Amino acid sequence: MTAPDFAARPQLSEDVARFVRRRIFDGTYPAGGYIRLEQLASELGISVTPVREALFELRAEGLLAQQPRRGFVVLPVTGRDIADVSNVQAYVGGELAARAAHAITDGQLRELTAIQDDLEDAYARNDGERAVRLNHEFHRAINVAADSPKLAQMMSLITRYAPESVFPTIESWPDESVRHHRELLAALGAHDADRARAAMSEHLAAGAAPLIEHLKSRGVVR
C-alpha cells in the first residue's frame, strides 16, 4: 500500500494510527513482525513524534506490544476479537439507530439518502477508498441524528477496532450492505425505532463472519 501524503495533516497521530491499522488488517504488517518507529516516520515523511503517539495508541488498543530495545511488535488478531467487536458494535449501533428513528429530521433523512446513493455509486465503480469514506459518513450521520453524543463517542471508539477498509474488498459484502442500508433508511423514514434497531444490529453483526473468513484467507486471522 502506497503511503498517503501526511505532511499537511493537522492530526497526524490519528492518521498514522489509521494507516498502521490498515496495514495490519491487510497483512502488510504480519503478526510477530516489528514496526520500526524511525523507518515508518521516514517513509511517511514526518517526524517521529506523531508516529510514536500513534504506535502507543495502537498498543493501548491491543494491536501492538512494546518490547524493550526492540520496538513495537504486531500482535495476533483472532476471530474472537473480530466477533467481539462486531457484537458490541451491533448493540450500541442498534441503540443509536433506534434513537435516530425518533429524532431524525426530514433534512437529515435527505442527507442520509444522498450519502447512500453516492455509496452505491462508489461500490459500482469499485472505488473502495471512496466507499469506505461514504460508509463512515452514513453511519456518522445516523449517530449525529441520534442526539446522544456520549453513546456516539463510545461507538466511534469501538469502530477503531473494526477494519472498515477491508469490507469493500469482500465479494459478497457491498450488495448485502446496500440491502441493510436501504432497510435502515426505510425504518428511519417511518420513525420506527424497533425496526431501525433491528436493521442496524443485523447489519453490524452480519459483517463478522465474512470478515473473519476474508482475514483468514489473507493470513491475518489464525
**Residues 31 and 89 occupy one common structural domain:** no
105 in Cβ contact with 79 (< 8 Å): no
Cell numbers placing 159: 469502530
Query: Would you say the pTM of this structure is higher than 0.95?
Result: no
**Residues 99 and 62 occupy one common structural domain:** no
Domain at 53, CATH number: 1.10.10.10
In a domain, 222, yes or no: no
Give the percent of the chain with pLDDT over 70: 95
Q: Report the pLDDT value the prediction gives residue 170, as an integer from 0 to 100.
A: 81
50 in Cβ contact with 8 (< 8 Å): no
Q: Which range of residues forms the domain containing residue 113?
A: 79-217
| Radius of gyration over every alpha carbon of the chain, rounded to an integer in angstroms | 18
Number of domains in the chain: 2
**Residues 183 and 86 occupy one common structural domain:** yes
15 in Cβ contact with 9 (< 8 Å): yes
**Smallest Cα–Cα separation from 50: which of 11, 22, 19?**
11
Q: What are phi and psi for residue 125, nearest 5 degrees?
A: -90, 5
What are 65-123's pLDDT values in tens digits? 998 888 899 998 888 988 998 999 999 999 999 999 999 999 999 999 999 999 999 99
**Residues 68 and 174 occupy one common structural domain:** no
